[in-house]
Structure 1
């Protein structure tokens, strides 16, 4: 994260009046100064790689070829320079993202900027920048020029399908410029009855649209806001759909617990009218970037390979021992466990260039602060406020009683792998999805993601919202109050 903005004619920070950003009344900056803008920047590094294709934590930093991220939330705090937005087919923020991508002549935005390849200083700068951005966002209202609305619900739940139809009809009836996207599986759904909805309301044609996973992957900047109808699982599904750019997520509670669902669905007309009319406040939730690294077979050395030596040993230019096999951005946790094996797992745990410990347990849970109330809590980990910039590591049924949960800074790159001499393989899952076998020699890197998750907060209780949620859902420290003494007097 750095101050200043180096590109000319880019979309930026709207005027802040009465603690509100208003995209509908944009005008040029009177000062022409961009010193208040925030941006995450990375510099290409011609550094040597370790055997496992990891960048060492200290490397030279050439002062050229700066790259900006395409994360939607960063564009919200750039200085606006008066360039009009003529294309209304995509959101204002989406157009800003496309312009940033266009300024990437070498294609590095999509190809090479993974957290596991960043230096220690780059990760520290990135994490600090996102924290500073988050502090600014929770103190202001963002008034978005809403056009494209994404509705997410469980397409197999009859009640939620009915709620999706009700919300869609209300939105399309409210404003003629709204375009509402629902899951493509609902197009032929009998309960949603899209054809009946269009026949009853001919002016809805062309404005009721359908999204697919491919659209979320390729054109996430299309959507101005996500309306999640369901429970925390629905919010996690939104994080899984939007692996890079994430639109602001406004979550309505229709589940059983609801740490992440902040709004009552019964009041959705008032909630949406206020959010679209007065603005929203966004909290940035830390996400992790997790990459599976596969061991490359080498017949000459396979019988004497050591995972610890390969990950923190001497550098080798002519041989890389591992190759990446898929990256996931997760909101809750990465879990490595024994899977269907009858015996416990053995795993090596590393932090940056240090071997932390050898884990012998049913598994290990590496959680974000948001995920501290999920699997991490069930495994005996600590509750953690989502604003804390930390990584929580909790063993699952460890073989030693001394393996206590540990909390690490979010600037560390963790690696957890299966040693070559392990009796069995292990299994990795990412927010409970994409379950993958890790064979001996494979490992997973876990680090802070460049793409945080923007969660919309209730305007009236944004400060105490998390404490309210754990008191409401977990009955945290709930007990009958101790009675006072009644002093005896003679």
Structure 2
């Protein structure tokens, strides 16, 4: 696995919260195109989608800003809005109708929704909504690419809805405004009752933002040979070149995740046994049910349930948390943002492992994979 960092932003102003998503291209540690660092960690992105960007702060010294002081502005008026609704929840049908009617009839915007949302039986039978429904643009996940045309994302649901919206944009992510209509609300504190006022404030610009991070993850398939040289090198904490062949390895999956990457034992009855490398050097072996690598945002999710501390989103860091470790010494650790973490099966592991990304796209990891 190859790890790096991108950025997700969210706004807070007074007692109200505005949430946005944005990220930047991250480069592998071995290349010459390394991310720059400054006082608050790796340089964050300043553009989110085709029209949103960070408002420059003329009072900052050498343009170095505290992430908590950044504000959002628009280079051009936003025209295309993506509305993500939590599916299989009948209570969200009326808020969805109200929002779409407001965006189409009053704001005169082009509204994109998922095809499966528009095809909902309750919406299809609603004759009063048919005129609005016919003006909506639809797309299908995995088939239609809308990443270059969306100016703003509005989510109706819980934290899982925002995670899903983030997964749709693997490159630059437009601003996201998330309304709390689900079970959890770490990332969705907006109240829908005042959605008209809140949407108008965001479209006017100059909204406060908080930057959050994502993890850039790669799954690389490889070959494995258990030999004495590998075992000896492992004891010295150095990863030998003949164990992991970067040129021969095939990248089978590349994603950017908002919460966490989880490596666990899957359906096996044996404990998971994996090695954790930081910038190519072994730092520990994990024996237990698995390990969680999370962003500060993800530190409030699975990692918190596994005993990790919660990290403020302004702290540039990556949390590594064992899941029920078979050890008295391994506890959650925090590493700097921008480092490269790699996880492989230990040479003496008796079974394979399974990896998932924000709870999705679960797949098996064999010996030699990373």
Cα pair 1:134 1:283 within 8 Å, conserved: no
Mapped partners of 2:181, 2:246: distance in 1: 52
Structure 1 residues 355 and 133: alpha-carbon distance in aligned structure 2, compared to 1, 3 A threshold: same
2:249 to 311, 317, 322: 322
Mapped partners of 2:7, 2:331: distance in 1: 36
1:379 aligns with 2:313: no
1:172 to 93, 101, 104: 104
1:139 aligns to what?
Answer: 70
1:229 aligns to what?
Answer: 156
Structure 1 residues 372 and 383: alpha-carbon distance in aligned structure 2, compared to 1, 3 A threshold: same
In structure 1, stretches of 5+ residues that fail to align are 1-51, 55-69, 74-108, 444-490
How many residue pairs match? The answer is: 330
Deviation of 1:388 after TM superposition, in Å, equals: 0.6
Cα pair 2:26 2:35 within 8 Å, conserved: no
Deviation of 1:72 after TM superposition, in Å, equals: 11
1:296 aligns to what?
Answer: 223
SS in structure 2 at match of 1:145: coil
Cα pair 1:155 1:161 within 8 Å, conserved: no
SS in structure 2 at match of 1:400: coil
2:123 to 172, 179, 192: 192
CA deviation profile, 1:241-278 (whole Å, cap 9, x unmatched):
11112110100001223010021012111211222235
Measured on the aligned residues, the alpha-carbon RMSD in Å equals 3.3
Cα pair 2:110 2:137 within 8 Å, conserved: yes
Structure 1 residues 140 and 308: alpha-carbon distance in aligned structure 2, compared to 1, 3 A threshold: farther
After superposing the two structures, state which structure 1 stretch, 144-153 or 190-199, moved more: 190-199
CA deviation profile, 1:76-115 (whole Å, cap 9, x unmatched):
xxxxxxxxxxxxxxxxxxxxxxxxxxxxxxxxx9xxx863
- Structure with bigger helix share is 1
1:181 aligns to what?
Answer: 112
2:230 aligns to what?
Answer: 306
1:413 aligns to what?
Answer: 340
1:209 aligns with 2:137: yes
2:43 aligns to what?
Answer: 129
Deviation of 1:346 after TM superposition, in Å, equals: 0.5
Cα pair 1:71 1:244 within 8 Å, conserved: no
Q: How does 1:255-404 map to 2 (within 5 A)?
A: 255-296=182-223, 301=225, 306=230, 309=233, 312-314=239-241, 320=247, 322-404=249-331
Deviation of 1:210 after TM superposition, in Å, equals: 1.1
1:155 aligns with 2:83: no
Mapped partners of 1:410, 1:304: distance in 2: 34
Cα pair 1:124 1:411 within 8 Å, conserved: no
1:115 to 21, 24, 27: 27
TM-score (norm 1): 0.60
Deviation of 1:134 after TM superposition, in Å, equals: 7.3
In structure 2, stretches of 5+ residues that fail to align are 10-23, 46-62
Cα pair 1:134 1:284 within 8 Å, conserved: no
CA deviation profile, 1:159-191 (whole Å, cap 9, x unmatched):
223322221012111133x11111111333222
Mapped partners of 2:246, 2:104: distance in 1: 58
Greater relative contact order (Cα < 8 A, sep 6+):
2
SS in structure 2 at match of 1:286: strand
SS in structure 1 at match of 2:44: helix
TM-score (norm 2): 0.79
CA deviation profile, 1:399-428 (whole Å, cap 9, x unmatched):
111111111101210011112331011111
Structure 1 residues 355 and 321: alpha-carbon distance in aligned structure 2, compared to 1, 3 A threshold: farther
- Structure with bigger strand share is 2
